[in-house]
Every structure is written in structure tokens, then in C-alpha cells.
Amino acid sequence: MKFTAKQIAGILNGTIEGDPEVEVQELSKIEEGKVGSLTFLANKKYNPFIYDTEASVVIINNDFVLEKKVDSTLIRVADAYQSFSILLEFYNTALTDDKGIMEPVSIDEGVVVDESCYVGEFSVIKKNVILGKDVKIYSHVFIGEGVVIGEGTLILNGARIMSRSEIGKNCVIHPGCVIGSDGFGFAPQKDGTYKKVPQTGIVRIGNNVDVGANSTIDRATLGATIIHDGVKLDNQIQIAHNVEIGENTIIAAQVGIAGSTKIGKSCAVGGQSGFAGHLIIGDGVQVQGKTGVTKNIKDNAVLQGTPAFDFKSYSKSYIHFKNLPKIVKRLDQFEKEQHGK
């Protein structure tokens, strides 16, 4: 699809310098810009590229001062980075503006699919499913019995939404996700074997939640595994049964959260971190990558290490850890000198 600089400036409430009728049909990095592409400049490190880029349109900040003439049409805005983010969202929405029911699909009787919805090829929707307006279900998706999906949510290719799961409005469930599968519950027996504990709960996901590709969210043993509004989950994350994640928390890839742990609001969790079960993590906590959290954490703590401890203490300790061979060598030399006396 094509847009003119004039149309883009209208969306962003920006000011045009150059040809308002120049057209773009793709997005690019400024250093890789070519004719017909749209890009932006928000980081000073990339300033030199504006004079060499072949991009047809460049979004820049209002206060950016040109040192020489540029060939691109410029759109000046208050915040170039934020404006480009708005355009990315607009562009993505346009790409996913599909409607209708493709063939072949399997939709049980009684499921009402609004005319604003989309169901892609080879998808399966079981009975008693409720779909809000503008829900998009792409190819090879499975939607189990009694699932509720809110208005404007995207379920992308190959996702599995198991029975009775609840997903709010304007969520994005990326390819390969499994939501609502059995939690890892097994009771040890006297003979050394394990007996499966039935997982009878559900998963409840709030509004404006993103779940990255191939992530899994297990249903609760009893009650609900809860992902609150605004949570953003990266790819390949494991969330166990009865976990609760607070509003606007963001979690990077390959994090594992064991059963019944509760993570507060507005937390940030680095990649490959792990949480033991039955913990309470406060609001505003920051967890550095590869951290192992094994105890309850108070609000606004910053953690690193395994087991996790205060980030500043970790940094100071790490300095000594790197110097440990030198320290040991000096200690050995000191002991030799003492024995020599």
C-alpha cells in the first residue's frame, strides 16, 4: 500500500519540507533507505545518514538543524521516535485488516463470528466460543471449547488457545503460543511414581497484552492463572499454573516462572531469568538477565545473580570475583613469606 508525505504528515500532525505528493510503500532504517521508503531520525549517532539516505521521506524532530541540503522530503514532528511508532502501529493495523472466513475451516455450530472478524485457513473453533468484534484468527489456530476472546485481539498463526481460557481486548497472541494447557502438577506416590493432579482452572488474560511466539501459559490447578492489563511477554516464556503477573510488567525471552508466584505491577524482567514457586514479587522490581529469584522481593528492588541479591552488591562483588586469581596469588605469596619467617 502507498501513502503520500501529505497523508503521513496528516496522521502525525507534522510539517512537510519538500514534495508533499511523494509516495512511500515500505519502511526502512535510515542507513538502508531507498526510493519509496519511509524512515525516521531520532538518535544523534545516525545524523550523518540523513544526508546520504535514499529514503523518499524522513521523519525528524522539530528542533533538528540541517547542516546542508537533503534530497528526501522531511516531516518535522515533536518526537520523531514516538511518531514513527504511531506509524508502525498504523501500518501493522492496515496489514491485518482482514475480514471473512476462509476455507477450509472447522467452526462448531452455535459459534457466532461477527462480520468484522477474520478466520484463516485450517483453523478450528470449538463450541461455546465467544469472539468480540474485529477479532482476527489466522491460519492453523485451535480455539478450544468455551474460550472468550475480546474485541480487536489478534491470534496469529499456529497458536493454541485451550478450553475456557479468557483473553481480553486488543491483545496479540503470537505464532506458536499455547495458552491454557495443563500445569505441571504431579503428586509423589509411596512406590516412587507420580500421580497427575488434575488441572481444573483457567487462564485469564487482560486487555492490551502481548504474548510472544512459542510462549506457554498454563491453566491453574484451581482458580485462574492471571495476566493483568498491559503485560508484555517476549518469546519462549514459561508461565506455570496459578501465576499472577501485575499490570504493565514486561518480561524478556526465555524466562521461567514457577507455580503460584505473584509478580507485581510495572516490573521489568531480563531474559533467561527464573523464579521459584510461591513467591511474592513487589511492584516496580527490576530483574537483570540470567537472575535466579528464590525469595520474596520488596517493591522497587533491583536484582542480579543466582540466587538473586541486591544489584549494587552484586556489581561490587563481581569486581572482586574477576580479580580472584590475583588475590589468591597474592595470598599464597603472603603465606610463603610468613612461613619463611
Question: Catalytic residue numbers?
Answer: 241
Rg (CA), the chain: 26
d(C-alpha 60, C-alpha 44), whole Å: 11
Identify the CA nearest to 160 among candidates 136, 139, 176, 137. 176
139 CB-near residues (< 8 Å, 6+ apart): 102, 120, 121, 122, 123, 157, 158
Upper half-sphere CA count for residue 169 (Cβ side, 13 Å): 3
